[in-house]
Amino acid sequence: MTDTKPTADEMLTEIEELLGDVSSHPALNGARCFDGTKECGECYGCIARRLRKNLPTLADAMRKEAARAE
């Protein structure tokens, strides 16, 4: 049995799914994020939303690094 490393696209898909789960879970949003219109920037939900917003930049960097490694 050989261990295969996930591709950059597979890792990004998993990250997107996990961040989506975190940012939409009401128990993880802080008390200052009342109706979702104002973000406190400190709770897990706000952090996940910020990471999801920056995910395309991360994806590009991961793909470039994977291409360079090949």
Distances (CA, A) of 5 to 9, 11, 27, 50: 11, 10, 33, 27
Provide the pLDDT for residue 36.
56
Report if pTM > 0.75.
Answer: no
Q: What is the DSSP string of 8-38?
A: HHHHHHHHHHHHHHHHH-GGGS-TT-SSSSS
Provide the pLDDT for residue 52.
78
Provide the pLDDT for residue 28.
56
Residues 13-51: tens digit of each pLDDT:
888 777 766 656 665 555 556 555 666 766 777 777 778
Taking the domains of the chain in order of start, what are their residue ranges?
12-26+37-69
